[in-house]
Amino acid sequence: MSTAIKIYQGRFGRVALLDMDAPLVQHAHHHCHLLIKAAGPDTFFSVHDELQPLTGDTAVLINPWEPHAYRHVEHVEQRTVILAMYIEPDWLTTIQHPLVSGGHPRFFPESCVRMSSHAKKRAEELAMEMWWADSVAAERLEGLLFELMLSVIDPSRSWHELSRQMELSGRRPSDPRIRKAIAYLRENTGAEPDMNRLAEHCGLSRAHFFALFHRCTGVTPNVYLNVLRMETAINDLSSSAYTLTDISYGLGFSAPAHFSRFFKQNLGITPSEYRRVVQLYEADSRQVQI
């Protein structure tokens, strides 16, 4: 069974050190998602149904809302330890750091990149801190995360161009009907929506609704709802006293076991394990708007 070695959660998003031995279903995040192999055999992630190698020399980069899945390599004795970063785009635009002279880093232009020796060193340093330290000071953790992000993304583009790309990528869907659908999904994460009725609510046929939703967001309405449910679950697990049963029923699952299976299929670990290992880096538990 896959396990979590350590998870840190804060205004930067999340960073997790995961010991993986099972695949994940296709899913998405609103985060900038960076994956680096920390130990064990090489493996793969599927991004838009194309396999991307995760090795000691390559990192897998996933933009917000890009569908992806972990493809665990079967029949190997060792497990793959993965350093997984789920970075809030807003954090990248507001962080104050000595390396920032102005503007903001862009989202990832490629799904797989070769890591420089500097990037490898930063990744090893972060993984070692998570593996062995009881905790990491917030300033040091954010510094390590930001330096690692900068060392992996393409540094050749101008800061003005990077800032502009982030601004465009972070915009809400332009179509008001899809914004209306997203507002409905956000307000009803605890119910399985009738997609025919939701399409009608937006003044669209079911086929036109699904096509327009995918064109505006990059994912289907069902995947978007799953993202909302996962973020709500993670927020409740890390910053509330709700029981797993309360959380599962609040999200519309008919039984806690169904919620646990859903959570594990998307993140690789159980909700109870997430709650056990997560360390918060801020007291503010307001849910991020996605």
Mean pLDDT per 10-residue interval, the chain, length 290 residues: 91 94 91 94 93 96 92 77 91 55 54 92 92 87 87 58 48 77 91 88 93 90 94 94 95 94 94 94 54
286 within a domain of the structure (yes/no): no
Question: What pLDDT is attached to residue 155?
Answer: 52
Q: Give phi and psi for 200, each to the nearest 5.
A: -65, -40
For residue 17, being part of any structural domain is answered with yes
Could you list the residue range(s) of the whole structural domain that residue 276 is in?
176-280
Evaluate whether 226 touches 186 at the Cβ level (below 8 Å).
no
Q: Residue 210 corresponds to which tokens in the numbers above?
A: 């699904």
Domain for residue 264, yes or no?
Answer: yes
Does residue 149 sit in the same domain as residue 210? no
Q: Are residues 20 and 102 in the same domain?
A: yes
Would you state the pLDDT for residue 218?
87
- Say whether both 126 and 198 belong to one domain: no
pLDDT at 90: 78
CA dist 244 and 236 (Å) reads 9
What is the reported pLDDT for 112? Answer: 94
* β-sheet bridge partners, residue 19: 3, 81
> Measured between alpha carbons, how far is 218 from 182 in angstroms, rounded to an integer?
13
Residues 158 and 218 grouped into a single domain: no
Answer yes or no: is 252 within a domain.
yes
Structure tokens at 46: 């599927």
The pLDDT value recorded for residue 37 is 96
pTM greater than 0.75? yes
Per the CB < 8 A criterion, the answer to whether 175 and 216 are in contact is yes
In this predicted model, what pLDDT tens digit does every residue of 219-256 receive, in sequence order? 999 999 999 999 999 999 999 999 999 999 999 999 99
Last residue of a domain, one of 169, 188, 203: 169
Give the residue from 169, 192, 222 where a domain finishes.
169
Q: How many domains does the chain have?
A: 2
In a domain, 285, yes or no: no
Same domain assignment for residues 20 and 157? yes
- Please report the pLDDT score of residue 158 as a whole number: 42
